[in-house]
Structure 1
Amino acid sequence: MIWLDLARRGKTNWWRYLVAWPLAILIAIVTITVLLAAPIWLHWLPASITGDMQSAAHPIVFYGSQGLTFALFLFGFWAAIRLMHGKRFSDIRGAWSWRSFLTGMGVWLVVLIVLTLIDYVIRPKGFHLSLSLTPVAVLVAIVGLLVQTFTEEFVFRGYLSQSLLLATKNQVVAIVLSSLVFGAMHIPNGIPQAVGATIFGLVATTMAIRTGSLSLSYGVHFMNNLFGAIIVVSAQDVFKGAPALITQNTPDLMWSDTAIGAVAMLAATALLLRSRKKAV
């Protein structure tokens, strides 16, 4: 199994994992404090920027700060992994394939369009054409989301799933546990989103383990967030208020969207893994 072979590379004593996680978070917090918090405390940046960083209604500051924050978390984890395990970056990322990345993006874009059309048929009055995007906002959103989604894939589908697979030698257990952790991280965004994130974690981790790479799951993850950030923005989502092509306000469809999305994720995963197997 490629994923297990990657997990075995470097120094894998159990205690190193116990040290690496808090060390990674500590490095990230220190760098975030120095590069983001300190300039605000020292009044090098206006105090109002703090609120802008937390609101997608200010897309340039919001996505820019999100991208920088996740980049620093990625640095923290990579530094800790390198120090404690001596692993290479590719040991966590797996073999890279732009074709898999773009395939994941394309297939999931089609799925998202279909899911949106289903919601529109059910609640047409919940959709409004916004057309409020600007080229700069789109560019910053793309860059920020590329960093954010890759960091999450690197940490959860990469380092966490590999460590669990190494500890349990059981794919199912590693997939379930890493997905539950990923879902728990989304609880502040609401229970439906936490459930959806858990299901996404299940399919994304399956993709990573079956393909030996983060490329496919990264493509799906990036398109999922990009679509929700600039194409169809939900009033119940973390990206609420962001400039978009279309805004959606259908709170009564949250659970049905989660259920239908889960079925779509499973179907898309089966399709993607089958098509990749045939291409090999």
Structure 2
Amino acid sequence: MNNLTLYYMTNHLECVTAQKSQWYWYLLVIFICFMATNTVGAIPLFIILITQWIQNPKPLTDINSFSQESMMSGIDSNLYLASMAFSFVVFLAVAIWIIKMFHGRSWTEVINGTKRVRWSRFFVGLAVWGVLQVGSFAINYMTDPNNFEFRFEPVRFIFLTIITLTMIPIQSSCEEFVFRGYLAQGVASWTGSRLWALLIPSVLFALLHSANPEVTKYGFGVMMANYFLIGLTFGLISLLDDGIELAMGAHSINNILGSMLMTYEGSALRTDALFKAKIINPGEDLFIAVISSIVFIGILAFIYKWKFGILTRRVPPPPPSPVLS
């Protein structure tokens, strides 16, 4: 067996075996993870809400007091961020355990089909996407500085930094693990197509974010296009690079900057970021995201000498599960 054959037998999409590979097992895994997230993962937020209600009780007959906006309005933004991120820690931990139990796949195999994580790629993705995002922000700030409110509260920002740098990479990597890792492997095993493994998780990724407050404030169409573009970009680099480390790094820095550098009215990350944008133009932001994504893919393709022809290569059917003697 030559090295090329070995590579294609152990790469990201081809590492799936026939062990519980039908679509309903994947649906069950996601369901179990969501149940764990909304029970165990919701405990910190539940404690915060109960504490808030004890300190400021409201009549149980007041329906408006139970709206999401009303319940979240009195919660400290740092506490809310930490409790939100904790739910992803639970989701990821349960996903790793269930996937191993159901499919016999380790967490590293979900990431790239091998037994080790290429951490250097994580930091390359983080650095390249981070430079592009900071550059876009700098251009926006220089062209219209009056649209940005600078606000710096040292103590609160220190706590925000600690929470963001420790929890947000887990939250972001969890989404990549599920969509560009686990679900992409499942779709590839069912369809034999890398293109479907790119498109279907990207659509599901966008739909998952349809409940975000940005969608209500700025419009379903433009925000769904934005989420789909991000999912498509991260999915494409994962297929070309045979693993999700680059996407994990890029997604992490994207959300870190959204937490610490700039926020805006209606953002899913309601934090004490350094800057708050007064006006958001989602159409303009979508155009910038398209340009950033093209440049991002181009830079990485140059660094890693990607062959785009791999996108049309068929994914072979899952081999039989190994039998233990």
Structure-2-length-normalised TM-score = 0.75
Q: Deviations over 1:192-248 (max 9, x none)?
A: 3332111111111112222222211011101111111111222342224x2122221
- Report the equivalent of 2:314: none
- Report the equivalent of 1:215: 245
Change (3 A) 1:28 1:117: closer
Give me the CA root mean square deviation. Answer: 2.7
Unaligned runs of 5+ in 2: 1-7, 56-67, 307-325
**Contact 1:60 1:141 survives alignment (8 Å):** no
Change (3 A) 1:121 1:235: same
Change (3 A) 1:15 1:113: closer
Change (3 A) 1:254 1:61: same
Instruction: Map 1:48-197; keep pairs closer than 5 Å.
Output: 54=72, 58-94=76-112, 95-133=116-154, 134-189=157-212, 190=215, 191=220, 192-197=222-227
Q: As a proportion of its length, which structure holds more helix?
A: 1
**Contact 2:45 2:84 survives alignment (8 Å):** no
- Report the equivalent of 1:21: 30
In structure 2, how many angstroms separate the alpha carbons of the residues matched to 1:178 and 1:264? 21
Structure with bigger gyration radius? 2
In structure 2, how many angstroms separate the alpha carbons of the residues matched to 1:156 and 1:23? 16
Change (3 A) 1:171 1:254: same
- Report the equivalent of 2:278: 249
Change (3 A) 1:73 1:88: same
In structure 2, how many angstroms separate the alpha carbons of the residues matched to 1:9 and 1:207? 26
- Report the equivalent of 2:318: none
Unaligned runs of 5+ in 1: none
In structure 1, how many angstroms separate the alpha carbons of the residues matched to 2:54 and 2:164? 20
Change (3 A) 1:165 1:36: same
Query: In the TM superposition, what is the alpha-carbon distance from 1:153 to its structure 2 partner?
Result: 0.8
In structure 1, how many angstroms separate the alpha carbons of the residues matched to 2:170 and 2:111? 14
Query: In the TM superposition, what is the alpha-carbon distance from 1:264 to its structure 2 partner?
Result: 0.9
Deviates more, 1:49-58 or 1:13-22: 49-58
AA partner of residue 93 (structure 2): F
Query: In the TM superposition, what is the alpha-carbon distance from 1:172 to its structure 2 partner?
Result: 1.2
Q: Secondary structure at the match of 1:32?
A: coil
Q: Secondary structure at the match of 1:128?
A: strand
Query: In the TM superposition, what is the alpha-carbon distance from 1:15 to its structure 2 partner?
Result: 4.2
